[in-house]
């Protein structure tokens, strides 16, 4: 007999994005409810029955982000790694490679005091 999986919850979650106007409404209702998140959620649900109702954590995150960042969302992290090298390192590596195109990255690493992984990365020294 086959098992019926129709009642099971999905094993993945979809992040629901709310509009800025919805977040402003959360904030106003939160103020009406004397900064009580649970009460604000219930009141929002009563006032807007046709809309999706956010979790109480969503209410809390909206308020926390406004306090901490002055925005409804967190600022994006700068993930670009700074270039740590300089022209001297570049010239050293190029001089070694020009002298012997078959030299290993380990040999270059030892000669220039740059890690082998950095030498192999293609110029981000």
> CA–CA separation, 14 vs 21, rounded Å?
21
Residue 30 included in any domain: yes
**Structurally, how many domains does the chain consist of?**
2
Print the domain residue range for 102: 87-120
Residue 14 included in any domain: no
Residue 54 included in any domain: yes
CA 2 to chain centre: 41
Cα torsion angle, 118, 120, 121, 125, sign:
positive
* Beta carbons within 10 angstroms of residue 26's beta carbon: 22
Residue 56 included in any domain: yes
Domain match, 27 and 62 both: yes
User: Tens digit of pLDDT for each residue in 89-118?
Assistant: 788 888 998 999 999 989 988 888 888 888
With tokens 């103020």, the residue in question is 31
Tell me which of 77 and 43 has the higher pLDDT. Answer: 43
> CA–CA separation, 85 vs 91, rounded Å?
11
pTM (predicted TM-score): 0.49
Residue 53 included in any domain: yes
Residue 58 included in any domain: yes
User: Tens digit of pLDDT for each residue in 28-72?
Assistant: 999 999 999 999 999 999 998 888 888 888 888 888 999 999 988
Domain match, 62 and 32 both: yes
Domain match, 65 and 97 both: no
Domain match, 28 and 65 both: yes
Residue 21 pLDDT more than 70? yes
Residue 125 pLDDT more than 50? no
């Amino acid at each position: 007999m086959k098992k019926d999986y129709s009642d099971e919850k999905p094993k993945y979650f979809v992040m629901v994005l709310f509009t800025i106007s919805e977040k402003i409404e959360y904030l106003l209702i939160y103020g009406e409810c004397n900064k009580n998140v649970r009460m604000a959620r219930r009141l929002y649900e009563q006032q807007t029955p046709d809309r999706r109702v956010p979790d109480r954590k969503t209410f809390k995150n909206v308020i926390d982000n406004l306090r901490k960042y002055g925005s409804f969302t967190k600022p994006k992290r700068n993930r670009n790694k700074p270039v740590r090298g300089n022209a001297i390192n570049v010239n050293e590596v190029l001089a070694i490679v020009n002298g012997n195109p078959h030299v290993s990255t380990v040999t270059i690493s030892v000669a220039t005091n740059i890690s082998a992984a950095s030498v192999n990365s293609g110029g981000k020294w």
